[in-house]
Amino acid sequence: MTKQLEFDFEKGNDNYVIPDFETWYSENSHERRTFGEKPYNRMKATSVYADLIESDFFRKYKRGK
């Protein structure tokens, strides 16, 4: 089982921050390469990022810490 890398973004008032797309894309691509996976192309990455924003992923992730 592969271990998820953790994003280390600067915390805002609610102890979380939503990374901009470029930062997220860079970190996600690095993580995928680290685990031998092919990085998303920009079109797929845009869709995945939008889904993360819509699902409030970044707030939930920091809250679960």
In a domain, 47, yes or no: yes
In a domain, 25, yes or no: yes
Residue 57 half-sphere exposure toward CB, CA atoms < 13 A: 11
In a domain, 26, yes or no: yes
Task: For residue 52, give the nearest of 14, 12, 32, 24 by alpha carbon.
Answer: 24
In a domain, 13, yes or no: no
In a domain, 29, yes or no: yes
Q: Give residue 28's domain range.
A: 21-63
Backbone φ and ψ for 11, nearest 5 degrees, come out as -85, 140
Intervals of the chain under pLDDT 70: 1-15, 61-65
In a domain, 30, yes or no: yes
pLDDT of residue 58: 84
Contact indicator for 27, 6 with CB cutoff of 8 Å: no
In a domain, 4, yes or no: no
- Structural domain count of the chain: 1
